[in-house]
Amino acid sequence: MAGQNDAANMLKPALSRGQLQVIAATTWAEYKSIFEKDAALARRFQLIKVEPPSETSAIAMLRHVAPLLERHHGVTILHEAIEAAVRLSTRYIIDRQLPDKSLALLDTACARVALSQTHVPHALEDLDAQLASLGSHRDWLAREKREVRLLEELVNTQARLQRAREDVYQQWQQQRAWVQETLAGLPAGDAASRSLAEAHEQQVMVHAHVDAMCVAHVLSGWTGIPLGKLKERTQASETTLLGQLQTYVAGQEPALKALARKLFITRAGLQAPDKPAGVFMLAGPSGVGKTETALALAQVYGSGPESLITLNMSEYQEAHTVSALKGAPAGYVGYGKGGRLTEAVRKRPHCVLLLDEFEKAHPDVREMFYQVLDKGWMEDAEGQRVSFHDAWVVMTTNVGSELLTECRADDEVMSHVRQACAQVFKPAFMGRVNLQVYQPLCLEQLMAIARLKLDKIVDRVGEASRGYMQLVVKPAIVKAIATACRVSESGAREIDELIDEHVLPELARVVAAEQGKTGVLTLSFSKNRYQCQWKNLSAVEA
């Protein structure tokens, strides 16, 4: 507001004489950048700090606004939706204030309910799009009179999708009928409401009212947090969670039990409200499943691999790299663009943060995480708070891994590794993390991992050959790969190298030679050689 003829200088005389009464509203950032720099203008206003309301006050505010939303959207809002809008927005939307964020959440939920009662559901639209795409593909193949087998598969797939569409259409019509009975207040309305609630457990297509579930659906779409996290607490037991983790990670039962126990506490809603959902340091040699554990957590806790945020801490060995994580400070190149860490967590707060090889990070970088581990949040370079309350922080380290072959008892292992970590990390840091030791993999565990990776190759061969070729993996080759990895110090990482070096070249040679034919490929290990044999379908049947 520089200059003599700007709006501020025009207002000052009238304000000083009391001829003009003004109520101005602004944010703290604009007040500091504009009003505080003009002391003559600032002293003519009485500063009043408007704090965000409490959850109780926000609920009362939404009660007064709810009738307006009901009339505007033509829907009915249940009180549980008002409470859910305030509670969930307070918990999961950090960068906005009450009551704005809860009102926006409730307004969007009202719009979704109104649309569900008049428009075709997304599930039906998706099936129609798939059927249209398959129909176009089928017409092209039929015109060219090639790929007869693929054409038959497309016809079968199209028939299956058509049946699925009919089922979804019937469910949609049934839910619409139940909603109409519920809204009309017919004698069968209570039974229709119960039937609708049971149907919503399987798939939600039509809403009768704006309820807590509808609000949770909207918030899940905004934040990427799985809907099950926003519902009432799930009933998965600690044993079930352990089994889910063990489908991705072989062995390491003590560490996985600790993770499953923490997951169970988090699912029950009993975790500390001012700390991350979980903080673990996984110590052990390379190739024993530490990184795979983080991916398993992303599958079980999050919504899949996209919930995993990975930072290789070997890239942050200098003190100045703190700015790369939090954002460049004011006056430096890159200011205002945010940091790799803060922006990633802000966009996906319900995540698993993997800090790989944490011991290689500079001490200043490590100390930056103290605030996250203590309070569950961090400020970026612009002073914006980033919440880690719904993030799992998983750090991996190789410190002490050389001791794992010398001592086998669990207590002895933990003691030796903790002493080794204490020489690298400060006691204040070790007191904030849950240390778990990963043992070297045994032969049976390596065989399970090799089998899993070879099964993926079986699927790839089927997809690449469009079902014409079938791959059979003999147990001998699984054991040979696992035995070779047992000798190596790279652990399970060696499995990928062995497959790339010995198995895939043999497989590619046979696939290229027999391209377009129907038959069976057999992977085996004989006479210290990885072998791939081909038999055409007629020879196999004979």
Give a yes or no: residue 87 inside a domain. no
Give a yes or no: residue 517 inside a domain. yes
pLDDT at 270: 84
Provide the terminal-to-terminal Cα distance of the chain, rounded to the nearest Å. Answer: 91
pLDDT at 197: 86
H or E element at residue 389 = none
Q: Which of 122, 114, 33, 23 is nearest to 72 (CA)?
A: 114
Give a yes or no: residue 105 inside a domain. no
Burial class from Cβ neighbours inside 10 Å (0-12, 13-18, 19+) for residue 141 reads middle
485 and 462 share one domain: yes
When pLDDT is averaged across residues 229-247 and rounded to a whole number, the result is: 77
Q: Is the pLDDT of residue 539 over 60?
A: no
269: DSSP letter: T
Pairing of strands 385-387, 392-397: unpaired
Task: Decide which of 527 and 4 is more confident.
Answer: 527
Q: Which of 113, 111, 120 is nearest to 171 (CA)?
A: 120
Give a yes or no: residue 309 inside a domain. yes
pLDDT at 541: 46
pLDDT at 410: 64
Q: Which of 40, 30, 47 is nearest to 4 (CA)?
A: 40
What pLDDT digit, counting tens, does each position of 136-146 carry? Answer: 998 888 888 77
Decide: helix, strand or coil at residue 439.
Answer: coil
427 and 507 share one domain: no
**Which distant-in-sequence residues (6+ apart) come within 8 Å of 64 by Cβ?**
none
* In contact, 397 and 357? CB cutoff 8 Å: yes
321 and 419 share one domain: yes
379 and 251 share one domain: yes
Structural domain of residue 488, as residue ranges?
Answer: 443-541
Task: Answer yes or no: pTM beyond 0.85.
Answer: no
Give a yes or no: residue 519 inside a domain. yes
What pLDDT digit, counting tens, does each position of 405-430 carry? Answer: 644 546 677 788 888 998 999 999 99
Q: Is the pLDDT of residue 2 over 50?
A: no
**pLDDT > 90: percent of the chain:** 51
pLDDT at 20: 87
pLDDT at 230: 64
343 and 468 share one domain: no
Give a yes or no: residue 505 inside a domain. yes
Cα 369 to Cα 313: distance, rounded to the nearest angstrom: 12
430 and 458 share one domain: no
374 and 492 share one domain: no
- Residue 37: pLDDT band with limits 50, 70, 90: confident
How many domains does the chain contain in total?
Answer: 4
pLDDT at 184: 84
Tokens encoding 153: 């598969």
What pLDDT digit, counting tens, does each position of 300-333 carry? Answer: 998 889 999 999 999 999 999 999 999 988 778 7
**CATH number, domain at 424?**
3.40.50.300
Cα 375 to Cα 452: distance, rounded to the nearest angstrom: 40
Task: Decide which of 7 and 66 is more confident.
Answer: 66
pLDDT at 70: 96
471 and 410 share one domain: no
Cα 222 to Cα 109: distance, rounded to the nearest angstrom: 12
pLDDT at 310: 97
Cα 542 to Cα 540: distance, rounded to the nearest angstrom: 5
Per the DSSP assignment, residues forming a β-bridge with 524 are 531
Q: Is the pLDDT of residue 19 over 90?
A: no
pLDDT at 488: 61
**CATH number, domain at 507?**
1.10.8.60
Tokens encoding 61: 């505010």
When pLDDT is averaged across residues 22-47 and rounded to a whole number, the result is: 86
E-only strand ranges, 32-99: none
The residue out of 396, 414, 437 marking a domain boundary is 437
34 and 163 share one domain: no
Q: Which of 30-34, 176-180, 208-212 has the lowest mean pLDDT?
A: 30-34
426 and 529 share one domain: no
Q: Which of 230-234, 355-359, 519-523 has the lowest mean pLDDT?
A: 230-234
Q: Is the pLDDT of residue 5 over 50?
A: no
Cα 462 to Cα 507: distance, rounded to the nearest angstrom: 13
325 and 392 share one domain: yes
Q: Which of 72-81, 151-160, 267-276, 450-459 has the lowest mean pLDDT?
A: 267-276
Give me the chain's average pLDDT, please.
Answer: 88
The residue out of 206, 226, 246 marking a domain boundary is 206
289 and 391 share one domain: yes
Task: Decide which of 533 and 269 is more confident.
Answer: 533
pLDDT at 69: 97
pLDDT at 518: 83
pLDDT at 526: 87
Cα 307 to Cα 284: distance, rounded to the nearest angstrom: 24
Compute φ and ψ for 243, nearest 5 degrees. Answer: -65, -35
Give a yes or no: residue 72 inside a domain. no
CA 245, 246, 247, 248: dihedral to nearest 10 degrees?
A: 70
What pLDDT digit, counting tens, does each position of 487-497 carry? Answer: 666 778 889 88
Listing DSSP states for 294-332 in one string gives HHHHHHHTSSSGGGEEEEEGGG--SGGGHHHHH-PPTTS
When pLDDT is averaged across residues 502-512 and rounded to a whole number, the result is: 88
Compute φ and ψ for 527, nearest 5 degrees. Answer: 55, 45
Give a yes or no: residue 211 inside a domain. no
The residue out of 409, 437, 465 marking a domain boundary is 437
